A and B are shown apart, each in its own frame.
Chain A
């Protein structure tokens, strides 16, 4: 039977505030345990929550960025369950009236096609603390620094049909959250966490199958692997005539498998009700309009603009808009090298520059090679002063010692040889040195052409213009 995968995603984005959602305690990552947990975070009697202005603004920003309805009136509710990292015995969340209603996000698939994924809602809530079960014998240690950290939970419609689509959605959302500057997106630190609801159904069937929820997978790669594993597991069960149990499963990256965490039936009885400590949150049109003016150019719009203005492919453009800093770098370079060299600029930024930045774990804003320096180098490739290969040498010199491309080319004598006579002389020398290969080539071993190109380039120390070498060699080897 042919099966269809159905995936819905819940993303918990930690909002980039200085203080918590309902208290004035700090939210800085990595503080000593419990030094950022105040009386309210500890649920001391008599304390009352007061909503942080910044989280409301951030939620509205997201709402605007995904074309969603912003609810003019939303309410906070208590989600009741007992766990020691939740001292109040309930989590303050939103349930019936979330701040952000229906919206959508456009994702770009690998084959270049676009797909619109519906977003059901986004609501504000507080995070719980952190429990440590293993380090202390027969006790659970609690660090409540994270308790009360603001989260925006963004819930998608079950509209993704493969693990790849799910990852594309997550990456698009991740980029968007950083553009609108409401979440730092750091997955290692848990600022962007994802739960995936996965089910399968026979192709053509309308009703959804029973789903399993995979919790807290902390990298894009693992999300893809976890979903693929889960889909195979469910199909195998169904094909054996067994049933899927609705449950929460944890992904184990070491073993690449998902494991049942707990049966959800009882744990799911959260008994939500409006929190009497928090009044309805009212948002005015003026509030929304004010926030609208603070939105930057969004990644989707930027991508289309780059494609249109610089004739870039969807692939190049979507890579360049991954972060604002990267896109800015590209635009600064193109401003100097011009539209005809835009593709060259994109290749260098996504290629050598990104590779070097990764190698030294640097952000593009701290790149040792500035847009101006890279542009000067690209211009020399463009006007045939140096070949692409020699350019790599110049780039390395720029990376290590700074300076400018022209000075490096002059100093190291890297200028490309474009003088036909000089190249012909080198070719003649190569032919003289390799009579056997020449005979073989002439008797039909076409593959040896590459050998001759290599020898000529070697003898010219990489400086011969490759196109000219090709053309002249073809002539001479006849």
Chain B
């Protein structure tokens, strides 16, 4: 399966990865190879196989509903690039 340049740019945008035009050209055959492998797996008959969500045979453990974390805001905000008034700040995002 061959991806178009546009497909690659869209995926890069969704993942917020800055990819130059040259990189797109290089990525196309690499991604193509991966997709070919996936296509190959698609040819296996899995009709009677339950979907596998996790590779290990184990179940989720649960914790009690208790507050175990203390307020460490000052410590966390010391390493934040931009924090003030108790808030973390990022460049303005408008919906």
Task: Judge if A35 is at the interface, Cβ distance under 8 Å.
Answer: yes
Residues of A within 8 A of B60 (CB): 51, 278-282
Other-chain residue from A54, A80, A138, A142 in contact with B65 (beta carbon distance below 8 A): A54
Contact B59 A133 (CB under 8 A): no
Contact A35 B86 (CB under 8 A): yes
Contact A262 B95 (CB under 8 A): yes
Contact A24 B67 (CB under 8 A): yes
Task: Judge if A475 is at the interface, Cβ distance under 8 Å.
Answer: no
Once the chains are docked, how many angstroms separate the CA of A209 from the CA of B64?
Answer: 46
Contact A142 B89 (CB under 8 A): yes
Residues of B within 8 A of A75 (CB): 53-54
A92-128 interface bits toward B, Cβ cutoff 8 Å, 1 = contact, 0 = none: 0000110000000000000000000000000000000
Once the chains are docked, how many angstroms separate the CA of A278 from the CA of B53?
Answer: 10
Residues in A415-449 with C-beta less than 8 Å from chain B:
none
**Closest partner residue, chain A, to B93 (CB atom):** A140
Contact B63 A52 (CB under 8 A): yes
Task: Judge if A454 is at the interface, Cβ distance under 8 Å.
Answer: no
Residues of B within 8 A of A18 (CB): 65-67
Once the chains are docked, how many angstroms separate the CA of A42 from the CA of B53?
Answer: 26
Residues of B within 8 A of A42 (CB): 76
Task: Judge if A34 is at the interface, Cβ distance under 8 Å.
Answer: yes
Residues of B within 8 A of A96 (CB): 51
Once the chains are docked, how many angstroms separate the CA of A39 from the CA of B76?
Answer: 8
Residues of A within 8 A of B51 (CB): 96
Contact A35 B63 (CB under 8 A): no
Once the chains are docked, how many angstroms separate the CA of A279 from the CA of B58?
Answer: 7
Q: For the complex formed, measure the closest distance between the CB of A48 and the CB atoms of chain B, giving whole angstroms.
A: 11
Q: For the complex formed, measure the closest distance between the CB of A88 and the CB atoms of chain B, giving whole angstroms.
A: 13
Other-chain residue from B62, B69, B77, B82 in contact with A52 (beta carbon distance below 8 A): B62
Stretch of A25-33, A303-311, A351-359, A377-385 lying at the B interface: A25-33
Once the chains are docked, how many angstroms separate the CA of A33 from the CA of B94?
Answer: 21
Q: For the complex formed, measure the closest distance between the CB of B7 and the CB atoms of chain A, giving whole angstroms.
A: 12
Residues of A within 8 A of B63 (CB): 24, 50-53
**Closest partner residue, chain B, to A83 (CB atom):** B93
Residues of B within 8 A of A39 (CB): 76
Once the chains are docked, how many angstroms separate the CA of A62 from the CA of B62?
Answer: 19
Residues of B within 8 A of A84 (CB): 90, 93
Q: For the complex formed, measure the closest distance between the CB of B6 and the CB atoms of chain A, giving whole angstroms.
A: 13
Once the chains are docked, how many angstroms separate the CA of A378 from the CA of B13?
Answer: 70
Contact A138 B91 (CB under 8 A): yes
Once the chains are docked, how many angstroms separate the CA of A473 from the CA of B76?
Answer: 83
Once the chains are docked, how many angstroms separate the CA of A76 from the CA of B72?
Answer: 28
Given A36-B71, A54-B65, A279-B59, A142:B88 Cβ within 8 A: yes
Task: Judge if A455 is at the interface, Cβ distance under 8 Å.
Answer: no
Residues of A within 8 A of B26 (CB): none
Contact B71 A142 (CB under 8 A): no
Once the chains are docked, how many angstroms separate the CA of A38 from the CA of B68?
Answer: 10
Task: Judge if A401 is at the interface, Cβ distance under 8 Å.
Answer: no
Contact A279 B87 (CB under 8 A): no
Once the chains are docked, how many angstroms separate the CA of A136 from the CA of B83?
Answer: 12
Residues of A within 8 A of B93 (CB): 83-84, 131, 133, 140
Contact B77 A34 (CB under 8 A): yes
Other-chain residue from B53, B86, B89 in contact with A274 (beta carbon distance below 8 A): B53
Residues of A within 8 A of B58 (CB): 279
**Closest partner residue, chain A, to B70 (CB atom):** A38
Given A75-B53, A141-B88, A53:B72 Cβ within 8 A: no
Once the chains are docked, how many angstroms separate the CA of A80 from the CA of B93?
Answer: 18
Q: For the complex formed, measure the closest distance between the CB of B49 and the CB atoms of chain A, giving whole angstroms.
A: 15
Contact A132 B87 (CB under 8 A): yes
Residues of A within 8 A of B82 (CB): 139
Contact B73 A19 (CB under 8 A): no
Q: For the complex formed, measure the closest distance between the CB of A78 and the CB atoms of chain B, giving whole angstroms.
A: 12
Residues in B1-56 with C-beta less than 8 Å from chain A:
14, 16, 51, 53-54, 56
Once the chains are docked, how many angstroms separate the CA of A143 from the CA of B59?
Answer: 33
Residues of A within 8 A of B72 (CB): 38
**Closest partner residue, chain B, to A27 (CB atom):** B67
Q: For the complex formed, measure the closest distance between the CB of A33 and the CB atoms of chain B, giving whole angstroms.
A: 4
Once the chains are docked, how many angstroms separate the CA of A201 from the CA of B90?
Answer: 44
Task: Judge if B61 is at the interface, Cβ distance under 8 Å.
Answer: yes
Contact A34 B62 (CB under 8 A): no
Task: Judge if A207 is at the interface, Cβ distance under 8 Å.
Answer: no
Residues of B within 8 A of A175 (CB): none
Contact B69 A24 (CB under 8 A): yes
**Closest partner residue, chain B, to A250 (CB atom):** B95
Once the chains are docked, how many angstroms separate the CA of A83 from the CA of B65?
Answer: 28
Given A140-B91, A281-B59, A53:B53 Cβ within 8 A: no
Q: For the complex formed, measure the closest distance between the CB of B47 and the CB atoms of chain A, giving whole angstroms.
A: 17
Chain B residues at the A interface, C-beta cutoff of 8 Å: 14, 16, 51, 53-54, 56, 58-69, 71-73, 76-77, 82, 85-95
- Give 5 A-B contacts (CB < 8 Å), ordered by A residue: A50-B63, A132-B87, A140-B91, A280-B53, A282-B60
Q: Please name 10 further chain A to chain B contacts, defined as beta carbons within 8 Å, in addition to the given A25-B69, A140-B89, A282-B59, sorted by A numbering.
A: A19-B68, A26-B67, A34-B77, A51-B63, A53-B63, A55-B65, A56-B62, A96-B51, A271-B14, A281-B60
Q: Which 7 A-B pairs have the closest CB atoms?
A: A24-B68, A54-B65, A141-B87, A38-B69, A274-B53, A53-B62, A33-B86
